Amino acid sequence: MYYIAGIDVGGTKTSLGLFDDKHTLVEKLVIASEPSLGFEDMLRHIDEGLSELLAAAMVDRSMLKGVGFGLPGHVHFEKGLLLTAPNLPTWVGKNISDEATALFGVPCIADNDANVAALAEFSVGAGAGSKNMAYVTISTGVGCGIILDGKLLHGAYGAAGELGHLFVSDSGRVRCGCGKTSCVEAMSSGTGMANYARLRIAEGVRSILPELAGGVEHISAKHIALAIAKGDPLAEEVLERAAEGLARAFYNIYQLLNCNVIVYGGGVSKLGSLLFDRIEKRFYELIPMALEYPMHFLPSSLGDDAGIYGAALLVSPSQ
Ligand SMILES: [Zn+2]
């Protein structure tokens, strides 16, 4: 009998999950990430959270087989090194696996957060039973993890699967967080959708979006759904554009890697059929071959817990 902890570190909150050796979640805890503390103190803060998690489940630390981390940035998986992390600048360049192993006193292993979520959905979630699957999270950004021939793809520097920055547009009108204008994120993330709506409103397009959101600066995917229900043409245009960006991204995945399962999660994906009916329609227009050899679009079954499940799976893969 042993236990595994899976820790999903975000820019604002960190989720900790304790799993038994059958990969059943037995205890869960969410703490504030406190990025202002800096790397060493943040790691200590997470270690305290781990102690709290173990105490709540009445499990001794000696029963822990290991701890897996999902991190919001590029992780050099073999080295355990965090290469980039816009929301955790003090963590960049640190060997997370080594530093956490030394502090926590148990073997620790780290990977990118979208990669671990992909692993979770593939192993115990909506993608279970598939072999070639991409997990896509659509929220303020667009993240992705790819399973090919049953294996999670890392690539040379751990940066495989950066779907959000695939070039899918040449409109040049909305800037991505990375500074360029052609990325999936600029078309289809919550931020990209809101920025496009604001641009069109500034151009003089009439819409009920500013009124629904209480000001143009507060427009989000949720308001776009509300405005569509009221027949707002701009909201429809914003959503069509977002669906086009994702359909092109999935087209690229199908052509390049021939994945046939897309599992989707993240806040914007909660638009559900409103968004995905449009994506699927456009996807099949782009690639008629898929009518015979289809792509399956499935909502995440683990939701916000995909990160902790997947982080734990790094330590002990499910059979
Ligand atoms: Zn970009």
We report the CATH number of the domain holding residue 280 as 3.30.420.40
Domain total of the chain: 2
pLDDT for residue 152: 96
* pLDDT tens digits, one per residue of 183-211: 999 999 999 999 999 999 999 999 999 99
pLDDT for residue 299: 97
Same domain as 116, residue 194: no
Kindly give the distance from the C-alpha atom of residue 191 to the centroid of ligand 1, in angstroms, as a whole number: 12
Kindly give the distance from the C-alpha atom of residue 50 to the centroid of ligand 1, in angstroms, as a whole number: 34
Kindly give the distance from the C-alpha atom of residue 181 to the centroid of ligand 1, in angstroms, as a whole number: 7
Kindly give the distance from the C-alpha atom of residue 20 to the centroid of ligand 1, in angstroms, as a whole number: 39
Kindly give the distance from the C-alpha atom of residue 170 to the centroid of ligand 1, in angstroms, as a whole number: 13
Provide mean pLDDT across the span 11-38: 95
Extract the tokens encoding 120: 């979770």
Kindly give the distance from the C-alpha atom of residue 164 to the centroid of ligand 1, in angstroms, as a whole number: 6
Same domain as 186, residue 106: no
Predicted confidence (pLDDT) at residue 159 exceeds the cutoff of 90: no
Kindly give the distance from the C-alpha atom of residue 174 to the centroid of ligand 1, in angstroms, as a whole number: 10
Task: Return the biggest CA–CA distance within the chain.
Answer: 65
pLDDT for residue 316: 84
Kindly give the distance from the C-alpha atom of residue 154 to the centroid of ligand 1, in angstroms, as a whole number: 19
Kindly give the distance from the C-alpha atom of residue 142 to the centroid of ligand 1, in angstroms, as a whole number: 9
Same domain as 105, residue 11: yes
Kindly give the distance from the C-alpha atom of residue 186 to the centroid of ligand 1, in angstroms, as a whole number: 7
Provide mean pLDDT across the span 156-161: 90
Same domain as 107, residue 30: yes
Same domain as 58, residue 8: yes
Provide mean pLDDT across the span 43-56: 98
HEC per residue, 16-77? EEEEECCCCEEEEEEEECCHHHCHHHHHHHHHHHHHHHHHHCCCCHHHEEEEEEEECCEEEC
Same domain as 35, residue 153: no
Extract the tokens encoding 174: 């909305």
Kindly give the distance from the C-alpha atom of residue 193 to the centroid of ligand 1, in angstroms, as a whole number: 14
Same domain as 289, residue 309: no
Mean pLDDT taken over the chain: 95
User: Domain residues for 25?
Assistant: 3-120+304-315
**pLDDT interval class at 107 (50, 70, 90):** very high
- What is the rounded CA–CA span in Å between residue 146 and residue 275? 22
Same domain as 156, residue 50: no
Same domain as 189, residue 104: no
Considering the entire predicted model, what is its pTM? 0.94
Among residues 160, 193, 177, 210, which one has the least CA distance to residue 269? Answer: 193
Predicted confidence (pLDDT) at residue 319 exceeds the cutoff of 60: no
Kindly give the distance from the C-alpha atom of residue 119 to the centroid of ligand 1, in angstroms, as a whole number: 24
Same domain as 148, residue 16: no
**pLDDT interval class at 237 (50, 70, 90):** very high
Same domain as 137, residue 68: no
Kindly give the distance from the C-alpha atom of residue 141 to the centroid of ligand 1, in angstroms, as a whole number: 9
Which residues are near ligand 1, the ion (C-beta closer than 5 Å)? 165, 176, 178, 183
Same domain as 143, residue 287: yes
Kindly give the distance from the C-alpha atom of residue 219 to the centroid of ligand 1, in angstroms, as a whole number: 21
pLDDT for residue 170: 87
Kindly give the distance from the C-alpha atom of residue 229 to the centroid of ligand 1, in angstroms, as a whole number: 30
Kindly give the distance from the C-alpha atom of residue 254 to the centroid of ligand 1, in angstroms, as a whole number: 20
Kindly give the distance from the C-alpha atom of residue 156 to the centroid of ligand 1, in angstroms, as a whole number: 20
Kindly give the distance from the C-alpha atom of residue 210 to the centroid of ligand 1, in angstroms, as a whole number: 26
Kindly give the distance from the C-alpha atom of residue 315 to the centroid of ligand 1, in angstroms, as a whole number: 31
pLDDT for residue 158: 87
